[in-house]
Amino acid sequence: MASSRSTTEPNALRAQALSIAVRECEEACRAHAASCLAASDKVDPHDPDREECTHLILDCAYASSAAARALRHFQRGDSEIAVLLTAACAKLATRCASACDVHRALDDCTGASRECASACDAVLDILGVRPVIAGVEREQMFGGSAA
């Protein structure tokens, strides 16, 4: 009986940690989407990178919203799509934080981007899918050259 309990407790703790991480990630994704939409109007119109920055910010808003919706249904078995969208959201949020970091007017977006990326990474880490997504497949999934 003790061995059954010792196996069940780590699974229960992992499930609880995952449930909390998914909920926090969903909230961070929603906050990030709202922050990105608000920031899209704050990009300096004289910035030569304005169009690229605005597109990235809006892409992040859409990806974060999609990830949040997918995470909302995560417990119902839609985990494959949720994992893919969460990984995409983490990548875009990291890029968005870097892009917004150079614009003082976008500090709220920078902070929300970092929080979102961190929350997405936490979910992926608990699921143990980070190594699968982090390799060549991740580069192929999000563009860039494979090593």
Report the SS3 class of residue 44.
coil
Q: Residue 58 — very low, low, confident or very high, per pLDDT cuts 50/70/90?
A: confident
CATH number of the domain located at residue range(s) 2-142 in this protein:
1.20.1270.360
Locate the domains of the chain by residue range. 2-142
Count Cβ atoms within 10 A of the Cβ of residue 128 and give its class: 0-12 exposed, 13-18 middle, 19 or more buried: exposed
Question: What does pTM read for this prediction?
Answer: 0.76
Q: Residue 6 — very low, low, confident or very high, per pLDDT cuts 50/70/90?
A: low
List pLDDT tens digits, range 75-105: 677 688 888 889 999 999 998 888 888 777 7
